[in-house]
Chain A
Amino acid sequence: MQIFFILAIPIFLAAGAFLIGKQKIFCTLNAIGYLAVLVASVMLLRKMVLSESANSYFSFIYFDALSAFFIFVISVIAFAAALYSISYIKKDIDSGVISERKAKIYYILFNLFCFSMLLVPAVNNLGMLWVAIEMTTLISAFLVGFYNNKESIEAAWKYIIICSVGIIFALLGTILFSYAFSLLGDVKSLNWSDMVANAGRMDKNILKIAFIFILVGYGTKAGLAPMHTWLPDAHSQAVAPISALLSGVLLKTAIYAILRFGIITIKGVGFAYFGNLMVLLGIISLAISCGFILVQKDLKRLLAYHSIEHIGIISIGFGIGGILGVGGALLHVFNHAVTKALMFFGAGNVVNKYRTHNMHVIRGVIGTMPFTGFMLLMGAFALAGMPPFSIFISEILIICAVFLKGYYLVTFLLLGFIAIIFGAVVHHFSKILFGSIPKGMSVVKEPLSGKMAFLFLFVQICALGIVLPFIKKDLIWMVQKLFQG
């Protein structure tokens, strides 16, 4: 039942944004709406974990523990972004960067974007899954090109073209999956639940080819290297709350799609095929992002390359499998989303204040914006994987899983890249956070709603670093069962 609330609230809010003229009233209403979505998603997750079964409605909506988990992650970040938007959009209106009317468009698009992302984990039909993911691209392209200057339009164009081509390959993969299914001669269906039940009897060669297309297609959207080229452009040019959503959860919805097809592939051809491909792409992503992080000059692009790194780690985790691998990867999905959202909010504040993305120019953030500076400092360490923050826990789980499986070369590469990236992050952020304050910069007071968004995320980063809320038959155990052949 909660699923209908979760899907309906963003639609109503989009309509509300269209109808309500006063921005001041609506932005608060928006945040309250997403709080409701968050509460509903927690209830949904709880129900799914306790009941240990899958639910479906009219064979259109289908969800199990895996879907409920992704819906939960999306609603956490959507709530934080809605909260942060209040102060961010107000500042943009006050400084004359955007008009009131443009702010209205922003809120309509924001809600439609959240709706399309929440729809992805809820649908059963793999064709509709494709449509929902394409919808996220089309809507967010406007949010990437929102400021309508040369850079943002270029970024939006690359984003929409590269992701559309990628998604065409995903559709090709989907058609091949349905072909493999139709060869069985039972029923004509694109439903995931039907396919997974018959996966063992499908033609192995076609499944293999089809999964490659899926991996290339949705991998483009997920930002897996070498199909990642749109990602740094789009993330650096989007409005700050949207950057957080793009990096925090949009990439994860594409990972979710890969996992759904991956589960069919595992049941059909065995785990090794799926696992090796995921690990390979993960290592390539780590290697490429590592190089770009070292030489990066642009603050938001730096964070974007971090997303590629973490998507690589997640994909390695799922590729290794088992309770440690899948568990670590699931936790990493959540931890990376929260941490990256915090960092993009911080970067948004910094860019607003200094009016540049260039890290050679930004100096002394701790001095000019004590609160944001402190949060960025903590977030940078969390992002790099320092204990006691949450990313450390999920990374160590994945590293253990890789090591225990006997992939020593992968362990070595993983540890090496993480160490190099750690150094690069500390170097870049110490430069911009400390140092003398540039002339003419004054200390600013930060609005409460912005601070609330930071604190909301920061509490989760710390909490999951210290306590792992596991019970005996829990979420992770249930999800990793899905990945068994």
Chain B
Amino acid sequence: MQAIILFGVLASTYLMVIAKRTPALIRYFRYQSFFLFLATFAVAIEERQIDLYIIAGLLFVIKVCAIPYFLNRIIKRMKVSEDLGLFVNAQLSLLCVLGFTYLSWVFAERILAPRNEAQAIMLAVAFFVVLAGMFLMVFRMTALAQIIGLLVMENGLFLLASTVSGGMPFFVEIAIFFDVFVSVIIMGFFVYRINKLFTHIDVNKLSRLKG
């Protein structure tokens, strides 16, 4: 079961890296969050903890439903081009990300001293998701892609936290969820502003401030 979920997380991350249009990226982000939800839910059933049920519920409501809905609404309302603006084409991106997969495996196995094989794989996947999120932030040009990249990094951290220490303390987890949600809303607000003032959301062209 766990293997299937991890495979799902990996596959949806690869799909995100080769996506060329923003709605596709958001859809794959939704898949990834859904797999995270499944992972948390599975642990919750196993351990019978009310905290974990609440966290899984929040994950579903915020990351699977609310945030993708909100991002889709921004796209509809702004009527900007749906093209992501790839610095690096899809094939090369995929190659880079495969390299990241190997690196995170090496990092997880050699440095973090995992207890067993299963934990090593989970650590590697978590680090890989963080790296892939960073890749998206750096090599995609629109402001929306940067927001999604940030969310992907955050997903990776969630996976990491649940792997290494059985999750953060409950109220910290809740605070982080709230924080992520608020930051997405605030960033969305700034994307509106950028679109209004500059009539585009290509962050590569934001270059008034220099030196």
Bound together? yes
A interface residues with partner B (beta carbon < 8 Å): 125, 127-128, 130-131, 134-135, 138, 141-142, 145, 148-151, 153-158, 160-161, 164-165, 168, 171-172, 175-176, 178-179, 181-183, 188-190, 203, 205-206, 209, 232-233, 236-237, 292, 295-298, 301
B residues 173-188 with Cβ under 8 Å of A? 175-176, 179, 182-183, 186-187
B residues 117-147 with Cβ under 8 Å of A? 130, 134, 137, 143, 146
Give the Cβ gap from A333 to chain B, nearest Cβ, in Å. 27
27 pairs of residues in contact across A and B, judged by CB atoms under 8 Å: A127-B168, A127-B172, A127-B175, A131-B175, A141-B186, A148-B193, A149-B197, A155-B209, A156-B190, A158-B209, A160-B190, A161-B203, A164-B150, A165-B137, A168-B130, A168-B150, A175-B160, A175-B161, A175-B168, A176-B164, A178-B165, A179-B164, A189-B169, A190-B172, A203-B113, A205-B113, A297-B211
Given contacts A161-B146, A175-B161, contact A154 B209 (CB under 8 A): yes
Q: Name the prevailing secondary structure of the B interface residues.
A: helix
- The reply to whether B134 and A151 form a contact with Cβ atoms under 8 Å apart is no
- The reply to whether A157 and B143 form a contact with Cβ atoms under 8 Å apart is yes
- The reply to whether A190 and B168 form a contact with Cβ atoms under 8 Å apart is yes
A359, B27: Cα distance in complex, Å: 49
Given contacts A145-B190, A182-B166, contact A138 B182 (CB under 8 A): yes
B interface residues with partner A (beta carbon < 8 Å): 111-113, 130, 134, 137, 143, 146, 150, 153-154, 157, 160-161, 164-166, 168-169, 172, 175-176, 179, 182-183, 186-187, 190, 193-194, 197-198, 203, 206, 208-209, 211
A297, B209: Cα distance in complex, Å: 12
Q: Name the prevailing secondary structure of the A interface residues.
A: helix
- The reply to whether B211 and A165 form a contact with Cβ atoms under 8 Å apart is no
Which residues from chain B contact A205 at a C-beta distance below 8 Å? 111, 113
- The reply to whether A138 and B206 form a contact with Cβ atoms under 8 Å apart is no
- The reply to whether A157 and B111 form a contact with Cβ atoms under 8 Å apart is no
CB closest chain-A residue, reference B166: A188
Which of A149, A172, A298 sits near B211, CB closer than 8 Å?
A298
Given contacts A127-B176, A168-B150, A301-B211, contact A175 B182 (CB under 8 A): no
- The reply to whether B208 and A151 form a contact with Cβ atoms under 8 Å apart is yes
- The reply to whether A131 and B179 form a contact with Cβ atoms under 8 Å apart is yes
Which residues from chain B contact A164 at a C-beta distance below 8 Å? 150, 183, 187
A151, B210: Cα distance in complex, Å: 11
Given contacts A148-B193, A155-B209, A158-B206, 19 further A-B contacts (CB under 8 A): A127-B175, A131-B172, A134-B183, A150-B208, A157-B143, A168-B153, A168-B157, A171-B176, A182-B164, A182-B166, A183-B113, A188-B165, A188-B166, A190-B168, A190-B172, A206-B111, A236-B209, A292-B211, A296-B211
CB closest chain-A residue, reference B167: A188
Which of B166, B169, B209 sits near A190, CB closer than 8 Å?
B169
A244, B123: Cα distance in complex, Å: 42
